[in-house]
Structure 1
């Protein structure tokens, strides 16, 4: 997808979030006016750090599609599967996929812990759960040799320490460009402690 087309589709996506948010609460109402700078740009950095990735991508706890829809827009070469348990949010996600013509997008209305293992090459999550719990979801759905791309806030270091009590993993932290205290955690070689 060329840059101008990608930018246009991302703007359309931001408009859809603004339109649907009063009814469904896809993002915090206080951040609605900063959808692009606060949410979409945040997810674009995930696309940048995972640029060399290939295979199938699963976004768990997709909510309003951040980062899953952004990945689908920017990486039309990848199959992107969104998993969200809230039916209303899934209606938004499916509608967004149709309106944005994202033929590489699939949406499942199921709980992460009960859906059949998805055998993902890559898993993403943003603002979903503390890392020790989040890694149990990743472990269920990630193939051996796969990578998780987890967007974490200012407590990410503490969460990594807590997760190491139960899990063994390699982690690379990519500093956030939108929040100096946040990071994208690239996790591989995940196994029980």
Structure 2
């Protein structure tokens, strides 16, 4: 586990407790993964929190599910976090988990294709979709001067190659500290290839 303040640890403890209770009713985390909740999910998400600029910036987390990484980031930073989750039961969990943890978030219970969310400086996602699809969604919510943080696995390079057909972007690869096959992709200056050709 990364070092966090006592206040952050308290918020994360409350979040983990309510997640374990709700997980008995709705599938937020695979039962197989529950023994590894802190190392596989919370610590993985905390890696992104350390990359968020200080201060009250706006952040959009796509497909938040059980709160990874968006609610963990909200527990650990001052970011103004919007969680987009179309599953109504998971959205209800996210609202209750945020209240229990004592953090302010906005939960948008809509599909990513239609969610009405103001552009943010940072867009995040974890275990949601291949990179080309993430870029389709993410650029809807990203300010021109912002960046995306996507947690990816062993197929990251293949996904980057596929995405390069349609997208130009500046790419920084940060090795995951919680998964030997994992990488964090920090993407900025994102624009469609067709946009570039028409300039």
Provide TM-score, normalisation by structure 2: 0.91
Structure 2 CA distance for aligned equivalents of residues 161 and 95 of structure 1:
39
- Where does residue 101 of structure 2 map in the other structure? 100
Deviation readout 1:140-184 (Å, 9 max, x if unpaired): 111101110011111111111111011110110110011111111
Matches within 5 A, 1:13-92: 13-52=15-54, 55-75=57-77, 77-92=78-93
Matches within 5 A, 1:114-153: 114-153=114-153
Task: Give yes or no for contact 1:54–1:121 (8 Å, CA) kept in 2.
Answer: no
Q: Which runs of 5+ in 2 are unaligned?
A: 194-199
Q: CA deviation at 1:66?
A: 0.5
Q: Give the CA RMSD over aligned residues.
A: 1.4
Task: Give yes or no for contact 1:126–1:150 (8 Å, CA) kept in 2.
Answer: yes
Task: Give yes or no for contact 2:132–2:162 (8 Å, CA) kept in 1.
Answer: yes
Paired residues in the alignment total 190
Provide TM-score, normalisation by structure 1: 0.94
Deviation readout 1:66-86 (Å, 9 max, x if unpaired): 0111111111x2210000000
Farther-moved stretch of structure 1 (16-25 vs 65-74): 16-25
Q: Which runs of 5+ in 1 are unaligned?
A: none
